[in-house]
Amino acid sequence: MNSEKLLNNWKFMLNRQGWQRMEGDEIALPHDFMLMTPRTPDSPTWADYGYFQPCKGTYSRKIMKPEAETALLRFDGVMGLCEVFVNNERAGFHPYGYTAFTVDIAKFLRDGENEIRVEVDATCQPGSRWYTGAGIYREVELLTSGADRFEPWGTSVRTLGIFGDGAQVEISAEIISSRRQIGIIEFSIPKLGFEMTRSVQLEPGKNNFSVKTLLHGVKLWSPDSPTVYSCDLTLHTDNCSDCENVNFGVRTVACDPERGLLLNGEPIKLYGTCNHHDNGIVGAASFRSAEERRVRILKENGFNAIRTSHNPPSSALLDVCDRMGMLVIDEIFDCWTNGKKAYDYHLWFDKYSKEDVAAMVLRDRNHPSVIMWSTGNEIFERAGRCDGYAVGKMIADTIKENDPTRPLTHAFCEFWDNREYNSEAAKSFPLPADEPDFWCEKIAPQAGNLDVLGYNYMTHRISKDEQIFKSHLFAITESYPMDALWVKRTMDSHPKLIGEFVWTGWDYFGETGLGRVIYDADAPSWGLDTHPNHISNCGDFSICGFKKPQSYYRDIAWGREAVKILTVDPINSGRKKSYSGWGFYDAERTWTYPGKEGKISEVYLFTTADECELSLNGEAIGKKAPNEKGVAIFEVPYAAGKLEAVAYKDGKICGKDGLSTVSSACGIKIIPDASDKTGKADLILAEIDFVDQNGNVAWNACEEVTVTAEGGKVIGTGSGKIDDEHDYTKNICFAYHGRLLAAIIPEDGNIIIRASSGDMSAEAKISI
Asked whether residue 611 is domain-assigned, the answer is: yes
d(CA 560, CA 567): 20
Question: What is the residue range of 308's domain?
Answer: 262-505
By C-alpha distance, which of 668, 665, 649 is closest to 701?
Answer: 665
Q: C-alpha angle 607/611/613, rounded to 5°?
A: 90
676 and 558: one domain? no
CATH number of the domain within which 596 lies: 2.60.40.10
Strands 563-567 and 600-607: antiparallel
Say whether both 89 and 225 belong to one domain.
no
Q: What is the pLDDT at residue 41?
A: 96
Interval 356-383 mean pLDDT = 98
- Co-location of 699 and 641 in the same domain: no
Query: H helices then E strands: how many in the chain?
Result: 10, 46
**Per-residue pLDDT tens for 664-699?**
999 999 999 877 777 788 999 999 999 999 999 999
pTM of the model: 0.95
pLDDT, position 19: 45
Q: What's the confidence (pLDDT) of residue 52?
A: 97
Q: What is the pLDDT of residue 525?
A: 65
Same domain, 500 and 375: yes
How confident is the model over 331-359, as pLDDT tens digits?
A: 999 999 999 999 999 999 999 999 999 99
Same domain, 578 and 706: no
β-bridge partners, 712: 746
Tens digits of per-residue pLDDT, 623-648?
999 999 999 999 999 999 999 999 99
The count of domains in the chain is 5
- 637 has which bridge partners? 600
Identify whether 685 is part of a domain: yes
Domain assignment present for 473: yes
Quick check: 27 pLDDT over 60? yes
Q: Looking at 105, 124, 145, which one is the last position of a domain?
A: 145
Q: Assess whether 713 and 760 both reside in one domain.
A: yes
Give tens-digit pLDDT for 41-84. Answer: 999 999 999 999 999 999 999 999 999 999 999 999 999 999 99
Residue where one domain finishes, among candidates 660, 683, 709: 660
Q: Both 100 and 13 in a single domain? A: yes
517 is a domain residue: no
pLDDT in tens, 226-279: 999 999 999 999 988 999 999 999 999 999 999 999 999 999 999 999 999 999
Encode pLDDT of 139-152 as tens digits.
999 999 999 999 99
Interior angle at CA 645, CA 602 and CA 628, nearest 5: 65
Q: What is the pLDDT of residues 542-562, one digit of tens each?
A: 999 999 999 999 999 999 999
Query: Domain ends where: 660, 686, 715?
Result: 660
DSSP β-ladder status, 750-757 and 704-710: antiparallel
Whole-number Cα distances in Å, 527 to 207, 513, 522: 53, 8, 12
CATH number of residue 452's parent domain? 3.20.20.80
In a domain, 496, yes or no: yes
Residues 314 and 273 in one domain: yes
Task: Tell me: do 278 and 376 sit in the same domain.
Answer: yes
Between the alpha carbon of residue 286 and those of residues 129, 278, 316, the distances in Å are 20, 8, 7
Of all helices (H) and strands (E), which one includes residue 13? strand 11-16
Is the same domain home to 333 and 427? yes
| Number of CB atoms found within 10 A of residue 575's CB | 12
Instruction: Say if 526 falls within a structural domain.
Output: no
Q: What percent of the chain has pLDDT over 90?
A: 92
User: What is 581-622 written as a DSSP string?
Assistant: TT---S-BS----TT-TTSEEEEEEEE-SSEEEEEETTEEEE
Instruction: Report the DSSP pairing between strands 89-94 and 732-734.
Output: unpaired
Contacts of 91 (CB under 8 A, 6+ apart): 73, 84, 85, 103, 104, 105, 108
- CATH number for position 117: 2.60.120.260
The closest alpha carbon to 261, from 96, 480, 494, belongs to: 494
Work out the pLDDT band at 307, boundaries 50, 70, 90. Answer: very high
Residues 525-540, mean pLDDT to the nearest whole number: 91
pLDDT per residue as tens digits for the range 406-459: 999 999 999 999 999 999 999 999 998 888 899 999 999 999 999 999 999 999
Alpha helix (H) residue ranges in 168-208:
none
Question: Which amino acid, residue 493?
Answer: S
With respect to residue 522, please indicate whether it lies within any of the assigned structural domains.
no
Q: Which pLDDT belongs to residue 717?
A: 98
In a domain? residue 358: yes
Radius of gyration of the chain (CA): 27
Nearest by Cα to 95 from 69, 70, 75, 113: 75
Q: How confident is the model at residue 169 (pLDDT cuts 50, 70, 90)?
A: very high
Contacts of 628 (CB under 8 A, 6+ apart): none
- Please tell me whether residues 655 and 723 are part of one structural domain: no
CA proximity to 329, closest of 312, 306, 350: 306
Q: What percent of the chain has pLDDT over 70?
A: 98
Same domain, 240 and 275: no
